[in-house]
Amino acid sequence: MRALALGLVVAVSAHAGAQVRVSPTGVSVNANGATTVFLTFGGVGTRVAREGMWCGALIPAAPDAGARCDPATIFGVLPARYDLRAPSGRGALTDVMSIPPAVAMRAYQDAVRGARSTFFYVRRFESPTGGPDEYVAVTCRLTGGGARTPFALTDVRIAFAENVPVLALAAGAQVPPVAATIAYNGTGRLRGRWEVVLPGEEPPDEADLLTEATLPLERRGTQRRYTELSRFNVFLPPGGRVTLAGPPADRVPTRVEGTHLLLLRVEADNEREGDSDLAAVGAGDGVVHSGAVAGFPLPPLRYVVGAGESRGEADDPRPGDARLVGPEDGAVVPADTALVLRWREDAAAARHRLELVGTDGGTLFTAYVARGVVRYAVPPFVRTQAAGRALDWRIVALDDVGRARRRTPWRRVTLAPPGG
């Protein structure tokens, strides 16, 4: 069973009858968590890219071109918030395929039951003139997410050493140390810089917060730039997690009163596993490197100068703040009982993020929930994976562009082992 979990190779193919082509044609992806792959579709022309979905089997798309998902085997649809497709030069389209852990888990479970250890990502392209749709399929084969996997960031969290939702400082005071905790697939060089948005400057939009490798080639270098504080260039070996030190504290400005934003800007790496060959898809010449692609905007870290003292997470929440309800801190959940987490929502949040981590700090599960949802039943596969272990969980309140407004304190729960 363990051997089946050693991986996901994505072989991208276009059917002979379809004019839309895609590159790369063979990319390894991770079977044990999230995966992000940069794709380039050529020959798109005036066609409009529609839904992307994952499934376990394909069937002929006739009278349309290519092969589409068998409706009986659909694993999921690419969520709108992760749909980062963008037009590129010469009738091309770039697409960021963000495979959720739940999809990889579904493929793994099917493989355990005897199915082939492959599944598919399918993009549909619609003709604006009423012609047949075209389907382009990405074949995904389970691998382990090691050195042959495209170098991609799958989770980024930036925080001050002082555990507060928003750090508030007196003018001229020094900020505490900053660090970014980064989960990743593959291996490559993490290169980039720390920048700060000063009060009064135009804040970054969502496109400014993407890593450079997530953008089409012609848009790289066009993101808004801010005051540079420091640079970094570190090699990340296969392993999946790193803590990146922030800029030196004495370089972080605190003399001007107002809200400041610390930005982590990650540049494209020339790691080859996720390269797009433009000539192969008729979209130009040369190769597009996509090392350090990410399927989400990197979160800025906010601090306020001249706004009084910081409020720690351990303080009593104000009315309207998010608050954990149950289970109680330190509770033990019996083996035959579902793990249901409950909280009070933040009155000003657009949605909330539920985070579960192991006691070693490793992320076990993340879910996004809409406003009005104040309970979540943790999927059985997480319950099985973490049986006999202690977990920490919390709720993060997000604004309408996905930025963290406020975080609850962590709460610990222990899942009793089978028979316990």
Q: What is the pLDDT of residues 121-180, one digit of tens each?
A: 999 999 988 889 999 988 888 887 677 788 999 999 999 987 766 788 888 899 999 999
Would you state the CATH architecture of domain 3-143?
Sandwich (2.60)
C-beta separation of 179 from 247 below 8 A: no
Please provide residue 33's backbone torsions phi and psi, each rounded to the nearest 5 degrees: 175, -165
Q: Do 323-415 and 152-272+287-305 have the same topology in CATH?
A: yes
Domain ranges of the chain: 3-143, 152-272+287-305, 323-415
CA 381 to chain centre: 20
Grade residue 319 by pLDDT with cuts at 50, 70 and 90: very low
Q: Which residues contact 248 (CB under 8 A, 6 or more apart)?
A: 229, 230
Tell me the CATH class for 152-272+287-305: mainly beta
CA 65 to chain centre: 31
Residue 266 has a pLDDT of: 97
Output the six-digit token pair for 192: 């980039």
Could you report how far apart the first and last alpha carbons of the chain are, in Å?
A: 25
Closest of 344, 340, 333, 348 to residue 378, by C-alpha: 340
DSSP-based three-state secondary structure for 292 = coil
Q: Which residues pair with 92 in a beta bridge?
A: 88
Give the burial class of 372: count Cβ atoms within 10 A of its Cβ; 0-12 exposed, 13-18 middle, 19 or more buried.
exposed
pLDDT for 20-61, tens place per residue?
A: 998 887 777 788 888 899 999 999 988 999 999 999 999 999
Say which range, 24-33, 67-76, 242-251, 318-327, has the weakest mean pLDDT.
318-327
Model confidence pTM above 0.75: no
CATH topology of domain 323-415: Immunoglobulin-like (2.60.40)
